[in-house]
Structure 1
Amino acid sequence: MRVILLARRVPGKADAVQLMAPDAQIPWSESASDRIRGILSEATARGAPPRITGVGNAFHTPGAIPGEGETQIFLNTETGDPVSLLVLRRPGQAPRWAVAMGEIVDEAARPPAADTLLWYRLACSLPARLPDSSLEGTDPAQAQTARADYSIIRRGLGACTRTRIPATPDAAQAPSRSM
């Protein structure tokens, strides 16, 4: 059986590797290989999307005309690098959302492509609902719009398709496999 192993070297044993997690042996397929190769390339690239650790502040700003507005949701990251979500509302148009990987949101910002590192980090890390703590002190009507916009983002991302079994401290005691 062909498999993809996500493993690390066993210290002091040059001929042995250890699975990174209990589910780190994946049946090989061309699509799985391409997806994993792409994500690993992204993860090791300069400027890789940071891990999302939570949702920070969020706010909605109404526009100058009815039906117009913008919601910004700031995310907390492992590195402290800025990541934010933006929803633009224009009269007569469906709300449009995007993710920004920096201090400035430009017109080129878009939602992340599915099965990319950024997509996984958002789809698998964001809570189902916008936390109330993100909206403290916000006008109730604007908070309601921010919650609705967050729901648009969650629907746009879709469900996390990662089926990982988290590594446990006992995983370090798991048997290793020789090369």
Structure 2
Amino acid sequence: MDRVSELRNNSEAAFESVFVEYRFPLYNFLYRKIESDFVAREVVQLTFIKLWRFRHHLDPGMDIAIQLFRIAKTTLIDELRKVEVRERHYASMPPAPVATDSVMDVVTYNDTKARLLKLLDLLPPKRREVFELSRLHCRSNSEIAEIMAISPKTVENHLTLALRFMRPFFSCLLIIFANLVML
């Protein structure tokens, strides 16, 4: 029995053999395309997740390598589109306060924006996406759940964890700012 048929029949051994055989060729293929170790590794992981998730849709008449590289290519395109949307969104963020504001306001705004972007980079990808849809795109939990194909409770959990993670960084900033104002 060939590996595509074995995968379609839920063979974990077939999946493992495909993984062992193709993880490095996939990584090399993706790395040559984007020259990013992190993105290449992420896309390889997502490719194998999709391979297992959609194993019943594999074409038994087509070689596993062709199907696997096709999944990797479309996954890479999806990830690059997400990055492009994120960058466009950041570009559309409100500008720094106008020149009539004090220098301190401009510095505080720029510092806060930089901290937010750094903290967003530290969040797991799915949690970051939920946070951005909620707080930056003003989407409701039910809209986010529908967009991301997850339950509203999962959206709520992601938001709670994201805010719990970010809050200490911003509370320190508020304490520092309050002390400067009192001087």
Which bracket does the TM-score occupy, shorter chain normalised? under 0.3
Larger strand share, 1 or 2: 1
Q: TM-score, normalised by structure 2?
A: 0.25
Which protein, 1 or 2, shows the higher relative CO under an 8 Å CA cutoff with sep ≥ 6? 1
* TM-score, reference length from structure 1: 0.26
